[in-house]
Chains A and B, each alone.
Chain A
Amino acid sequence: MNDATRHPLDLLPFLVNGTLSAAEREQVERHLAACAACREEAGFLRALKDGVRAAETAGPGELGWQRLQRALRQDGRSPRRRAPGWMKLALAASLGAVVLQTALLLDRSGDRVYRPAGEQTTGAVVQLRFRAQATEAQIRALLQAVGGRIVDGPGALGVYRVQLAVDPGDTGALRRRIESLRAQDAVVTHVAPD
């Protein structure tokens, strides 16, 4: 089958998305000029391309960037940002305050509900999303009730990873704990094993 009679169906999607080489495009367009069936097919592919683009969902947007920015700054490679001398002093003071607050927080090990992600953990971990209307007091009470500690998050979609005081191998206990979390539907909207 030569170029004049072969239907270039394998190239039509790439004619429609505008990525064929000049030689391929010329070959396909020459065929289309003489082939009504392929012109119709190209019309379908154009409609399909528009449909595929419209069907895609937007990403996490600004929340995703903020999450990434936190990670960049924890990454150990200093971002290249120029700061005047007074800002450096203010930054040093803020950092000192953060270190102090962190030390105080970690010292209250008896009732803490947050544990840094890098710290050694042993309990089973679940994914949990809180209701937007849930108060800090409700969240704290819930975590304390199930022996839970936040070990990561929130992710871009507001999901936290929460470590429970349950042996990961004890599937029955874990299932019961998840059921009790799900029952708290005034505070949480989503609970799933990690």
Chain B
Amino acid sequence: MTADPHQAWLDAIAAGDEAAMRRFYETYAGAVYAFALRRLDEPAEAADLLHDVMLEVWRKAAGYQGRSRVRTWLLGIAHHRILDRLRALGRARRREDPEADAAAHPDERGNTLAAVAGAGDARQVRRCLDGLPAIHRQVMHLAFYQELSYPEIAAVLGCPSGTVKTRMMHARRAMKRCLEAAGLGA
């Protein structure tokens, strides 16, 4: 794997360089906050989680070994923190679906034009995302917002690549149904 260009920041952070920490924060805070918000739902909770994750980076930057991209490593830390927080809040298993395999086929696609119309409306997309089970919302966020590959998403979540693809299929179908309904209703 090619070395991540941001690894130098982590080396500097490990040496106590606050300016490097600021550059790191400015680059990645949005990604960590958005990831946390997708799972925790509460802006204040997501802001606290971002704070805790960045503090962990400050303390443990030397632990980054270059086995993955910095973003993947960072979101892996965030994922574990989110699970800890959900356990503390007593809602770790909120709205999760069984992992039945999706035998999806384009023939099931319904009214794609209506779904595309719905997908152009950010508020409608947010409403549909909020309606997804947490684990499906999470992979959609990691693929489309964080732009991670499916092996990277598997590394962040600590699950097999096949599971990521299955969750993405479920998420895609549910989003399409929801957006179709919105597009047809407009």
Q: Which residues of A contact B (CB under 8 A)?
A: 7, 9-11, 13-14, 16-20, 35, 37-38, 40-41, 43-45, 47-61, 64-65, 67-69, 71-72, 75, 77-81, 127, 155-157, 159
- Contact partner, B143, options A9, A14, A69, A71, Cβ 8 Å: A14
- CB of B54 within 8 A of CB of A68, answer yes
- CB of A44 within 8 A of CB of B51, answer no
- CB of B149 within 8 A of CB of A65, answer no
In the bound complex, residues from chain B placing their C-beta under 8 Å from that of A78 are 16
Residue of B nearest to A19 (CB): B149
Q: Is the interface of B mostly helix, strand, loop or mixed?
A: helix
In the bound complex, residues from chain A placing their C-beta under 8 Å from that of B155 are none
In whole angstroms, how far apart are the Cα atoms of A78 and B148 in the complex?
34
In whole angstroms, how far apart are the Cα atoms of A53 and B143 in the complex?
10
B74 within 8 Å of A (CB atoms): no
- CB of A13 within 8 A of CB of B15, answer no
In whole angstroms, how far apart are the Cα atoms of A59 and B176 in the complex?
27
In whole angstroms, how far apart are the Cα atoms of A45 and B15 in the complex?
43
- CB of A75 within 8 A of CB of B55, answer yes
Residue of B nearest to A59 (CB): B33
- CB of B29 within 8 A of CB of A65, answer yes
Q: Which of B34-70 contact A (CB under 8 A)?
A: 34, 37, 43-44, 46-48, 50-51, 54-55, 58-59
B135 shortest CB reach to chain A, Å: 15
- CB of B58 within 8 A of CB of A43, answer no
Sample 10 A-B pairs with CB under 8 A, ordered by A number.
A10-B165, A14-B149, A38-B106, A40-B112, A52-B140, A55-B123, A58-B30, A75-B55, A81-B18, A127-B44
Beyond the given pairs A56-B37, A60-B33, 11 more chain A to chain B contacts, judged by CB atoms under 8 angstroms and listed by A's residue number, are A14-B150, A40-B109, A47-B120, A48-B172, A61-B29, A65-B25, A68-B55, A79-B16, A155-B48, A157-B44, A157-B47
List of 8 A-B pairs having minimum Cβ-Cβ separation, nearest first? A59-B33, A37-B106, A19-B149, A51-B125, A79-B18, A156-B47, A54-B122, A47-B119
Question: Scoring B residues 1 to 20 as 1 if CB is less than 8 Å from chain A, else 0, what string do you get?
Answer: 00000000000000111110
- CB of B165 within 8 A of CB of A80, answer no
In whole angstroms, how far apart are the Cα atoms of A47 and B4 in the complex?
29
Supposing A14-B149, A48-B175, A54-B122 touch, asked if A9 and B33 sit within 8 A by C-beta, the answer is no
